[in-house]
Amino acid sequence: MEIDNTYDLIVGKVEEWLTATIEMLPNLVVALLVLLVFYVIAKFIKKMVGKMLSQVTDNKTVTGLAQTILGVMVIGIGVFISLSILNLGGAVTSLLAGAGIIGLALGFAFQDIASNFISGILLSIRHPFGVGDIIETNGLFGTVQKLNLRNTIVKTPQGQIMYVPNKVVYENPLTNYTKNGERRIDLACGVSYGDDLEKAREVAIETISELD
> Is the Cβ–Cβ distance between 137 and 173 less than 8 Å?
yes
> Is the Cβ–Cβ distance between 182 and 196 less than 8 Å?
no
DSSP state of 212: -
CATH classification for the domain delimited by 2-109, as one of 3.40.30, 1.10.287, 1.20.5, 2.60.40:
1.10.287
**pTM of the predicted model as reported, rounded to 2 decimal places:** 0.50
85 Cβ contact list (under 8 Å, min separation 6):
27, 30, 31, 34
Q: What does the pLDDT read at residue 149?
A: 76
Q: What is the pLDDT along the chain (212 residues), one digit of tens a residue?
A: 556 566 666 766 666 766 766 666 677 778 888 889 988 998 898 888 888 877 776 666 667 777 878 888 888 888 888 877 777 655 556 655 656 666 655 555 556 777 888 888 788 777 888 888 999 998 889 999 988 878 899 999 999 999 999 999 988 999 999 888 887 888 888 888 888 899 999 998 999 899 88
Sign of CA dihedral 105, 102, 124, 60: positive
Q: What does the pLDDT read at residue 26?
A: 74
Helices marked H in the chain = 2-54, 60-85, 89-109, 111-126, 166-171, 197-209
Do 2-109 and 126-176 come out as alike in CATH topology?
no
126-176: what fold?
SH3 type barrels. (2.30.30)
91 Cβ contact list (under 8 Å, min separation 6):
83
Whole-number Å distance between alpha carbons of 54 and 113: 25
Residue 207 burial class via C-beta count within 10 angstroms: exposed 0-12, middle 13-18, buried 19 and up:
exposed
User: What ranges do the domains of the chain cover?
Assistant: 2-109, 126-176
